Amino acid sequence: MRIKLNCNYQNLKKNYLFSEIARRVAEYGASNPPRRIVRLGIGDVTLPLTPSVTRAMENAVAEMGKKETFQGYPPSFGYDFLLSAISAHYAAYGADIGTDEIFVSDGAKSDAGNITDIFGSNPVLITDPVYPVYYDSNVMAGNGVTFVPANRQNGFLPPPPAEKTEGALIYLCSPNNPTGAVYDKAGLKAWVDYALETGSLIIFDSAYEAYIKGGLPHTIYQIEGARDCAIEICSFSKTAGFTGVRCSWTVVPRGLASGGVRIAELWARRQATKFNGVSYIVQRGAEAALSEKGYSECMELVGYYMENARVIAELLNKKGIYYTGGVCAPYIWMQCQDGLDSWSFFDKLLKEAQVVGTPGAGFGANGEGFFRLTAFGTREDTYEAVRRLDAVL
Ligand code: PLP
């Protein structure tokens, strides 16, 4: 063929993290390990959908089967009933987000990856270690990326860099995947101030906001000035167990503009052109997840996972091992022991405890020397993993 390809794809690092984990686990598994291998590496939920959600989706399926209530293409940006429910969800956090500022989508991953479509070539700041989508999508778009190091010195919550970058796209994720670290209001305010001062835009990923306890901010719109400098992406995946259902949203405040062009208009155009909406059935399920009863059921799911996190954190506290996360996030980001790098530590835990986690180096250079354990396993597996780790750490 003589077609030109997007040569930026050549600049992507080979995404070998989960395939390399699978390869090492399979190779070790083939050598007759003494015990079943316990997996605390997954970032996927394990509990089923809640009763309110399944009931709402069943009802919606029945409606789709009747001539009078059948629905065709959904509205591009979401049904009013779901937009209102999301708006009310923000109101509960004291954030005023209008239904016209919310764009329902099929996943925070899609939106985080697709958002580059509406921007030109800008400097990009991304914290490291990081959820890989932000970096990879910018590499695909041919954008240069500057990493902002998250490390033990800053508690994996890096402040804005001293050097001011004008007109940057800034990716922040709190609670963070992989570190589980959560910004407080002052930490986020520093980023909002930086963005306002430099004419930059924050793309804030709040996919794990439901795991926050206490007074920490659930949304960047709890921070003064954020409506003038931030987009927010959130998801039902980890709040309501929707990883296999697919529903999320992006907030673009109506006043956000650059060079006189409204960003919400560009995002609306992008979505209306390339995306045909989320199914009625799924949106009814999502609406139910945000109802009073539905949300309390979701909080039971979250509570289950967070009890797992507590058990893991308790072990690390007992051992005096440094970690972040596990309190307001389903991830625990622990320091590798015995001076091991993160892949050597992975091998050690696999061989000595038959426990699988995720090597921190897979999330960026600053992840080296750290290791991610997740709270998304079953209770039994988590207890078993903790018992085994207790013996080898
Ligand atoms: N954002 C973060 C930080 C994540 O960790 C994940 C999934 O692991 C996602 C977004 C993806 O969310 P969704 O399932 O809505 O695509």
Residue 5 has a pLDDT of 96
Pairing state of beta strands 331-335 and 370-374? antiparallel
Ligand 1 contacts CB of residue 157 (under 6 A): no
Ligand 1 contacts CB of residue 278 (under 6 A): no
With contact defined as beta carbons under 8 Å apart, do 374 and 40 qualify?
A: yes
Amino acid (one-letter) located at 166:
E
Q: Evaluate if residue 119 carries a pLDDT over 80.
A: yes
The CA R_g of the chain, rounded to the nearest whole Å, is 21
For range 245-251, the mean pLDDT: 98
- Considering the chain, tell me which residue range(s) the CATH 3.40.640.10 domain(s) occupy: 51-291
For range 23-44, the mean pLDDT: 92
pLDDT in tens, 307-331: 999 999 999 999 999 999 999 999 9
Ligand 1 contacts CB of residue 108 (under 6 A): yes
For range 169-173, the mean pLDDT: 98
Ligand 1 contacts CB of residue 179 (under 6 A): no
- Considering the chain, tell me which residue range(s) the CATH 3.90.1150.10 domain(s) occupy: 12-49+294-392
For range 157-171, the mean pLDDT: 97
For range 346-366, the mean pLDDT: 97
105, containing H or E segment: strand 102-105
How many CB atoms are closer than 10 A to CB 311?
Answer: 17
Q: How far apart are CA 283 and CA 300, in angstroms?
A: 21
Largest CA distance in the chain: 66
Res. 18 pLDDT band, cuts 50 70 90: confident
Q: How far apart are CA 80 and CA 179, in angstroms?
A: 35
Q: What is the DSSP code (8-state) at residue 279?
A: -
Ligand 1 contacts CB of residue 237 (under 6 A): yes
Residue 75 has a pLDDT of 96
Res. 13 pLDDT band, cuts 50 70 90: confident
Ligand 1 contacts CB of residue 358 (under 6 A): no
Tracing tokens 């919310």 back to the chain, one arrives at: 102
Q: Evaluate if residue 369 carries a pLDDT over 90.
A: yes
With contact defined as beta carbons under 8 Å apart, do 52 and 285 qualify?
A: no
* Burial of residue 191 (number of CB atoms within 10 Å: 0-12, 13-18, 19+): buried
Q: How far apart are CA 263 and CA 119, in angstroms?
A: 9
Atom of ligand 1 nearest to the CA of 236: 15
Q: Evaluate if residue 16 carries a pLDDT over 80.
A: no
CATH of domain 51-291: 3.40.640.10
What is the four-CA torsion angle of 217, 248, 137, 196, rounded to 10 degrees? -40
Average pLDDT, the chain: 97
Task: Tell which one of 109, 130, 246 to mutate to probe ligand 1, the residue whose CB is within 8 A of the most ligand atoms.
Answer: 109
Res. 60 pLDDT band, cuts 50 70 90: very high
| Superfamily the domain 12-49+294-392 falls into | Aspartate Aminotransferase, domain 1 (3.90.1150.10)
Helices and strands per DSSP (H, E), number in the chain: 12, 15
Q: How far apart are CA 217 and CA 195, in angstroms?
A: 18
Res. 238 pLDDT band, cuts 50 70 90: very high
Tracing tokens 């996927």 back to the chain, one arrives at: 44
- C-alpha of 37 from chain center: 26
